[in-house]
Amino acid sequence: MPADGAATDRAGSSNSVSSPSSVLSSRPPDVTVLCWDTLGDPPSGGLGISCTLTRRLTHNSQYNNGGSLIRTSRTAVVVNQFVPGCRSPFMECPQHDEPFLRSSPRGTVATVVAKSSAGGGTMAIDLQATRDVVDVMTGGWKAQALYTAVKLGLPDQVAAGRTTSDELAESTGAHTAGVRRLMRLLVAMGVFDGDETTGYRGTPVSEALRSGPQSMRDMCLLYGEEFYAAWGHAHHSISTVSSGFEVAYGRSFYEYLGEDADTARRFQATMNAGSMFFHHVPDAFDFTGGKTIVDVGGGGGNLLATILAATPDAKGVLFDREHMMPKAGEHLAATVGLHRVTLVGGDMFTAVPTGGDVYILSRALAGWKDDAIVRAFENCHRAMSGPSARLLILDRFVDDDKPSVLPALWDLHLLMTTGGAHRTLHHITELLNRAGLNVERTGELPMEHLAVVAAPRLAS
């Protein structure tokens, strides 16, 4: 396969491919096109491959697939779907031993699959796969470009009306040529809109990165600096199941936070920016009925304040390490008022405040070993007001059977930073059972968080 991913036709000549349409318009007229068509009726098979023929297009016909116009050079075969047994998503067509197109699962024609006779055998080249690999490999570059934009304050500057590279360079102290090249990429990535002539404009993405409360700016800076450095040791971290951060900085993440007030502030802001799911928690669990809510490892009090604001008849207890009390007190005083809250400093592995109707553990389990977590569960169980009390766990869970990207990514991210891990729901269920608690139900929350409601197991 050519190093640059170019398609190679049967005769062995190589065509550079930038898009399906450019392939089709530039190829000699011996191309067969296969593409998904979710619209067509599936009459019958007959191609000798595991797909259903729905439409055959002739030479130079045009076919509109989800907005992209495909011009065929000779014959186009539109297939409805691969049937079980097919090596989907890659497909070979013995009757059409020629380059062909297929669409991506997203429904647009995006993949050029060519066959090469180089070396005597037939080699399939899947250009979509090549593209996918490149997209993943360059993800870190995009992250660094976004980080640089935030570091330079470009989202704020554009919002303030500086809309050309000259103006942005002047206001940020960066070189115009560098800003121009960065802006070109950021427009392509959807961070900004516009161009040098009409001026750059913000988008919802750049808005989310402007300074201010709930901004993702601090998160972007932390991810682009300390966390990026930690991920630089991914190979070591994954191979040894130990923190990459410690390799990069020579001390643990939490020690580093203790020594660097600015990063500690950024980390708190990062946690807040990642807390957009808090507003949905009162929909996932009924806190009404005069309940006492104990937020264990409640951090800066953001979640408790959100729940109490949505539940006027509830009272709260904010429980965390002693050093968190001033910060949490400040936030709760400024939001729901300290008359509705008790602040308790302590260690959840020793004991938690008694008499609660709901105990919450939000994002507080990842860094701990199983036995410690069972102890925290037991302490919550023991402290509950009675059998109708509940433990509510809010977290991300990994799924070994149906992995999805965000929880799996954050699981590795925990490894890079603290050496921690996300667990599966099955695993947490086992730990709850060990503490005499049963999972009653679960509910989905935004950004792939899950609410797990656990009830005390009744003696039979």
Ligand X SMILES: C[S@@+](CC[C@H](N)C(=O)[O-])C[C@H]1O[C@@H](n2cnc3c(N)ncnc32)[C@H](O)[C@@H]1O
Which residues make up the interface to ligand X (CB under 6 A)?
A: 271, 275, 297-299, 303, 320-321, 324, 347-349, 362-364
Tell me the residue length of the chain: 460
User: Shortest approach of ligand X to residue 321 CB, angstroms?
Assistant: 4
**CB closer to ligand X out of 109 and 361:** 361
Shortest distance in whole angstroms from residue 395 CB to ligand X? 9
Shortest distance (Å) from residue 359 CB to ligand X:
12
Minimum gap (Å) between residue 299 Cβ and ligand X: 3
What is the token pair recorded at 220? 């972007």
**Contact of 446 with 276, CB cutoff 8 Å:** yes
Min dist CB 312 to ligand X, Å, is 22
Q: Which residue's CB is nearer to ligand X, number 192 or number 287?
A: 287
If the CB atoms of residues 191 and 365 are measured against ligand X, the closer one turns out to be 365
Report, in Å, the least distance between residue 364 CB and ligand X.
4
Q: How far is the CB of 278 from ligand X (least distance, A)?
A: 8
CB of 382 to ligand X, least distance (A): 15
Shortest Å, Cβ 222 to ligand X: 14
Antiparallel, parallel or unpaired: β 292-296 and 358-362: parallel
| Other CB atoms within 10 Å distance of the CB of residue 339 | 7
